Amino acid sequence: MKTVPPDPNIVVWFQDGYVRLGDANVNILTHGLNYGTGVFEGIRGGYNEDDHELYLIRVREHYERWKANCGIVGIKVPADVEQLCEITAELCRKNKFHSGVYVRPLAYKASARIGVHADENDAYAIVVVPFGDYFTGKRDFKAGVVTWRRVDDNAIPGRSKISGAYVNSVLAGGEARANGHDEAIFLTQDGHVAEGAASNIFMVRKGKLITPPVTDNILEGITRDCVMELARRELGLEVVERSIDRSELYICDEIFFCGTAVELISVTHIDHRLIKDGAPATITPKLQRLYADATRGRMPAYRHWLWPVHAAKKTEERHVLSV
């Protein structure tokens, strides 16, 4: 995976207004930068070439989760969920995005001073950038269990996407790559499988789709929730949320990661062991196709997941012309 720095001229939301990304800067002493007191979110937008529409995927649920998680750290976001959705759609329109996008809301403690104690000076920003496949062109995707343990809920809640907690993911991801893997797999403090460095994990075993429960220090993923619904409704699979032992990963039939950025990606190797002797996955590709279709407006039953960006603008233009 190789990322390209975003264009500094794109329009972002910063300090209660639309500004250039290149002008959206903070003081070097900002509390959120020094002490990790920020909470972020990740939201995808899928583009449908046939109807020329960009769909923000479960954007309301993402902002509901973000505002709730901000409360864990004591950060207040004054805008309501509908306003945040509208700002995000307007950013897509202002930047004339007609492709897949990734949205990064960030709320943080904004005081510029030295001192761990956080005051009530809160701020937030929203950035939208063009975004394609997170792991472009990966055919053999290798994952490995790392020595770093998933941060515990009683230390820094993993479910809350706190900026400082992602040092945990940075360390795990670095170790995984140094060991020849593409992604890390965290274990909990008691040795159960938790998740990847920045994604949830599923395995298929004996015809069941199995994933760790939210009590195993995982992010309560929205993509994870989409996958479970699609698996049950469209494929008729039994979906089980339970603790997973490390050795189960070695003897399962399929494994995949899912998340806002990665969407769904099939894993071929765990700890340098070939899964199922290299037999092609059967369930994962079906879920990949279903998720892609559902999040790009091709499945009417899941349109309630989507916020069309350009349709709202077209409606406004039609109204103006008819007056």
Domain ranges, ordered by start, for the chain: 11-130, 142-281
What b-and-e string marks burial along 252-289, b requiring 16 or more CB atoms within 10 Å of the CB?
bbbbbbbbbebbbbbbbbbeeeebeeeeebebbeebbe
Tell me whether residue 161 is one of the annotated catalytic residues.
yes
pLDDT score for 318: 33
Of the residues 67, 138, 161, 208, only one is catalytic, namely: 161
How far apart CA 223 and CA 244 sit, in angstroms, is: 20
Position 311 confidence tier, pLDDT thresholds 50, 70, 90? confident
Average pLDDT of span 3-31: 95
What's the CATH architecture for 11-130? 2-Layer Sandwich (3.30)
Residue 166: pLDDT over 90: yes
The whole-chain average pLDDT of the chain stands at 94
Tens digit of each residue's pLDDT (9 = 90 or more) over 187-232: 999 999 999 999 999 999 999 999 999 999 999 999 999 999 999 9
Q: What does the DSSP assignment read for 261-295?
A: TTEEEEE-EETTEEGGGGPPPSHHHHHHHHHHHHT
Residue 319: pLDDT over 90: no
Residue 134: pLDDT over 90: no
Nearest to 312 by CA among 11, 12, 129, 54: 54
pLDDT score for 187: 98
Tens digit of each residue's pLDDT (9 = 90 or more) over 22-56: 999 999 999 999 999 999 999 999 999 999 999 99
pLDDT score for 1: 54
Q: What share of the chain is helix, strand, coil (3-state, %, to 5)?
A: 35, 30, 35
Tens digit of each residue's pLDDT (9 = 90 or more) over 137-164: 678 999 999 999 999 999 999 899 999 9
Position 322 confidence tier, pLDDT thresholds 50, 70, 90? very low
pLDDT score for 316: 45
Residue 291: pLDDT over 50: yes
Strand partners, 142: 269
| CATH class of domain segment(s) 142-281 | alpha beta
Q: Considering the entire predicted model, what is its pTM?
A: 0.93
